[in-house]
Chains A and B, each alone.
Chain A
Amino acid sequence: TQLLEQSPQFLSIQEGENLTVYCNSSSVFSSLQWYRQEPGEGPVLLVTVVTGGEVKKLKRLTFQFGDARKDSSLHITAAQPGDTGLYLCAGAQGAQKLVFGQGTRLTINP
């Protein structure tokens, strides 16, 4: 059983469309991180959300942490081919460990 469930696992859309990726759990996290991973490379941190209800924006990307700190979402506005990649959420729970979701593989078609 995955502690953090990401959905969808795969998403292929046209350039200019909007999309939302979800990261859900029944557990509470002290913080939640979003990473993006390119082929052949390691994940790179996009953002960390800490407070329940927190919203952070990174250009066309909007990240939200649920009020109960059990879930998070990533919304991309007007997606571009450069947004293509694997998006991973990771929850901080307890001491010294991050729990990762399965990832969402996003493809933006020109």
Chain B
Amino acid sequence: NAGVTQTPKFQVLKTGQSMTLQCAQDMNHEYMSWYRQDPGMGLRLIHYSVGAGITDQGEVPNGYNVSRSTTEDFPLRLLSAAPSQTSVYFCASSPGDGNQPQHFGDGTRLSIL
């Protein structure tokens, strides 16, 4: 019963490097999203998808790209990492829309040097 799986769990990058954070869910959920969590800021929505082939921007999309080629997978790409992107990233999914309770992965802790 995997739920939402995120890889890697930890990553250190140098400024300017690119990277893809992986997210997969096995619950056949239509809605998937990416959040970043920073101290004192709660969770902020980066991008979301309401189904395969459809993506949209959240509150803090700059510097990040997403795609949704399948229902199961929703990767997050950092094109040119910056120290301001140091954060813990969470992927989430829900069976309905984005207002429904979310199932979260265990996060990826990313440090940009």
Contacts and interface: CB of A to CB of B under 8 A. Distances in A.
Interface of A: 2, 4, 6, 9, 30-31, 33, 40-45, 48, 88, 90, 92, 95-98, 100-103
A42 B58 CA distance: 19
B97 interface: yes
A88 B42 contact: yes
Contacts, number: 62
A96 B50 contact: yes
Contacts of A97: 45, 48, 58-59, 98-99
Contacts of B105: 42
A43 B92 CA distance: 10
Interface of B: 4, 31, 35, 40-45, 48, 50, 56, 58-59, 90, 92, 97-99, 101-107
Q: Which 6 A-B pairs have the closest CB atoms?
A: A42-B104, A96-B98, A92-B99, A100-B42, A100-B43, A45-B101
Most chain A C-beta atoms within 10 Å of own C-beta, residue among B98, B99, B106: B99
B45 A43 contact: no
Contact of B92 (A4, A6, A42, A88): A42
A42 B98 contact: no
Contacts of A2: 42
Given A48-B101, A96-B56, A102-B41, A42 B31 contact: no
Contacts of A45: 101-103
